[in-house]
Amino acid sequence: MLEQLESLYGQGLAELEALTDSASLHEWHIRYLGKKGELTLLLRNMGGIPKEDRPSFGKRANEVKEALTAAHLERTAQVEEQELATDLQEGQIDITLPGRQQKVGGLHPSTRTFRDLFRIWGEMGFQIYRSRDVEDDETNFTLLNMPPHHPARDMQDTFYTTEPNIIMRTHTSPGQIRAMRELGENGTRPIRVILPGMCYRFEQITARSEVQFHQMEGLVVGRNIRMSDLKGTIAAFAERMFGVGTGVRFRASYFPFTEPSMEVDIECFLCGGKGCNVCKYSGWLEILGSGMVHPTVLQNGGYDPTQWSGFAFGMGPERITLLKHGIRDIRYFWSNDARFLDQF
The 10s digit of each residue's pLDDT in 233-249 is 999 999 999 889 889 99
The CA distance from 289 to 217, in Å, is 10
pLDDT digit string (tens) for 171-214?
Answer: 999 999 999 999 999 999 999 999 999 999 988 888 777 888 99
Highest mean pLDDT among 28-37, 74-83, 91-100, 258-267: 258-267
Percent over 90 (pLDDT), the chain:
46
59-63, 129-133, 193-197: least confidently modelled range = 59-63
Residue 175, helix vs strand vs coil: helix
Q: Which pLDDT value is given to residue 167?
A: 93
Q: Which pLDDT value is given to residue 279?
A: 75
The CA distance from 289 to 282, in Å, is 18
Residue 339: HSE in the Cβ half-sphere, 13 Å Cα cutoff: 1
Mean pLDDT of 131-154: 90
pLDDT digit string (tens) for 318-328?
Answer: 888 888 887 88
Contact assessment for residue 221 and residue 181, using Cβ atoms and an 8 Å cutoff:
no
pTM beyond 0.85: the answer is no
Q: Which pLDDT value is given to residue 93?
A: 64
pLDDT tier, 289 (very low <50, low <70, confident <90, very high otherwise): very high
Cβ-proximal residues to 201 (8 Å cutoff; 6+ apart), any chain: 156, 157, 158, 159, 170, 211, 213
pLDDT digit string (tens) for 112-130?
Answer: 999 999 999 999 999 999 9
